[in-house]
Homo-oligomer: A and B are copies of this chain.
Amino acid sequence: NELTHLDERGQARMVEVGAKEITRREAIARGEVAMRPGTLDMILEGKTPKGEVFGVARIAGIMAAKKTPEIIPLCHPLALTGIDVQFRPDRELSRVEIEARVRTTGQTGVEMEALTAVSASALAIYDMCKAVDREMVIGAIRLIHKSGGKSGSFDREGEEKWL
């Protein structure tokens, strides 16, 4: 079985990484919340220019990234060195795009932290808007970039860089 989180008997474990090299590592993940155009308008027309909604969702993402090993059972605790979360409203497709970047210096990567940040930011947006739009859909949560560590860099094809 190639699933490293299961041992030779197929049982879950937090796999030992103590022999892996300590390197600087980075991961970027993205996702989106699709909503009705009127919902997106409400977010964007808040009394604070960029919308208090994004401010709250950003903090949700940053704090969730730090909480990743409590949320994902077999994830290693890591001393994260940096976390950014950005939002990009897309009126054409009536959705908010989310990007999270997480960095650490350690023995294992931070893909899960970046994906968890995106998920929590998306859930926070859903929470703040659910009174007006129950049918929003959170989707396309995916890894965009990963660097550092023995398995090498990864860049998902077809993803342009955000400005």
Contact = CB atoms under 8 A, between A and B. Distances in A.
A133 to B, nearest CB: 10
Interface in A94-117: 103-107, 111-112, 115-116
A17 B137 contact: no
A60 to B, nearest CB: 5
A3 interface: yes
Judged by DSSP, the binding face of A is mixed
6 contacts: A3-B53, A6-B128, A14-B83, A56-B74, A66-B77, A76-B81
A71 B67 CA distance: 8
Total copies of this chain within the assembly: 6
Given A16-B81, A67-B71, A56 B53 contact: no
A122 to B, nearest CB: 8
Nearest to A69: B66
Interface in A1-40: 1-7, 9-18, 24, 31
B126 A112 contact: yes
A11 B70 contact: no
Nearest to A120: B71
A119 B72 CA distance: 10
Contact of A62 (B10, B74, B139): B74
Contacts of A77: 66, 78-80
Nearest to A124: B72
B135 A138 contact: no
Contacts of A65: 14
